Amino acid sequence: MLTPVVDEDGAPFWGYAAQGELRVQACADCAEPRFPPRPCCPHCQSFASEWRAVSGRGRVWSYVVPHPPLLPDYAELAPYNVIVVELADAPRIRLVGNLVTGPDAPLNSFPPDRIRIGARVQVVFSSAGLPQWILERP
Ligand SMILES: [Zn+2]
């Protein structure tokens, strides 16, 4: 099972995700969202930040289907997908995840040949608190 690797800057992201909530860090001065989380705003250099709730809706911006050689735990699941999602309410924010058929569905649950760039997706959370993605209209 995939589990989050939490660092100090990203800890709030994972804390909200564990509660089933997708939030992105945003500057408390100029309001620009940023990802990955980091102490300083790249737009205005402010160190003030907040965690803004987003809808969890987005579009597939890009994807890959990893091929061998893969780490043993992943080799068992191949072929699976890794998608990049552009958030609907923060289009400059792109999150990496997997398109699956439901919360806690395996990485290989969605057939790679059915993935389309631009497809509308919605976040779901695994029981480990990992954001995953499902088609908005399966
Ligand atoms: Zn700023």
Interval between CA 56 and ligand 1 midpoint (Å):
23
Residue-wise pLDDT tens digits, 63-82: 999 988 999 888 989 999 99
What is the per-residue pLDDT for 1?
A: 64
Interval between CA 47 and ligand 1 midpoint (Å):
8
Burial of 33 (0-12, 13-18, 19+ CB in 10 A): buried
* CA dihedral for 90, 28, 47, 45, sign (positive or negative): positive
What is the per-residue pLDDT for 115?
A: 97
User: Residues in the chain with pLDDT < 50?
Assistant: none
Domain boundaries, the chain: 7-53, 55-138
Q: How far apart are CA 46 and CA 35, in angstroms?
A: 15
Interval between CA 90 and ligand 1 midpoint (Å):
15
Interval between CA 38 and ligand 1 midpoint (Å):
12
- Which of 114, 97, 101 shows the shortest CA–CA distance to 17? 97
Q: For the whole model, what pTM was predicted?
A: 0.91
Q: How far apart are CA 48 and CA 98, in angstroms?
A: 31
Residue-wise pLDDT tens digits, 122-132: 999 999 899 99
Interval between CA 21 and ligand 1 midpoint (Å):
23
The arrangement of secondary structure in 55-138, i.e. its CATH architecture, is: Beta Barrel (2.40)
Interval between CA 49 and ligand 1 midpoint (Å):
8
